[in-house]
A and B are shown apart, each in its own frame.
Chain A
């Protein structure tokens, strides 16, 4: 069974508009962490934002925010005021438990975001 689901293979957004990238996860561990990574066309993986399962507030990092709905097991990434440089693949990832070790850390299939001028 997929532990991380990203149902949008591709998304388009107009420059300066906001966009939401969906991520749902599956775990029975009460302690977990959720991450979003950006992979531009150059190929590197860039860490964007983190949400812990016990965090009371949604995480924010600049133009990135994470809409965390624990009961629905969703962790959607919201990018405000999209820029052309936001065009990239975006991966949702989950760490089960409190340790980063090994197979506790899984990635979703990714969503390709294209920002239109």
Chain B
């Protein structure tokens, strides 16, 4: 079982460049999420999705875009990268769960540096 796969693991971007962080899950989870984790901090929600074709903004969506064309894939697009976007990005997924003990399954993270 691959779980949640994120690529790339590391990336250095120049200010103003764009890139897409890839995320794929093979667990048939309906819900997918993108978080960022700044140094020494907790996770902040960027965008999330309940299923193909449906996305919503989280706490810190500015400077990012997402799409969800399939259940498996949830790419995160950075347009016009800025130093403030230097962070570790985590993709996560979960099934629709009602009152269960199912938390999130996380990818291994993408460490992004904008210089």
Contacts and interface: CB of A to CB of B under 8 A. Distances in A.
Contacts of B48: 101-103
29 contacts: A31-B99, A33-B99, A35-B103, A37-B103, A43-B88, A44-B106, A44-B108, A45-B90, A45-B104, A47-B105, A50-B101, A52-B99, A98-B99, A99-B96, A99-B97, A100-B95, A100-B96, A100-B102, A101-B48, A101-B96, A102-B33, A102-B58, A103-B45, A103-B48, A105-B33, A107-B35, A107-B43, A109-B41, A109-B42
Contacts, number: 65
Interface in B34-60: 35, 41-43, 45, 48, 50, 56, 58-59
Contacts of B111: 43
B65 interface: no
The 3 closest A-B pairs by CB, nearest first: A45-B106, A50-B101, A109-B42
Interface string B48-89: 101000001011000000000000000000000000000010
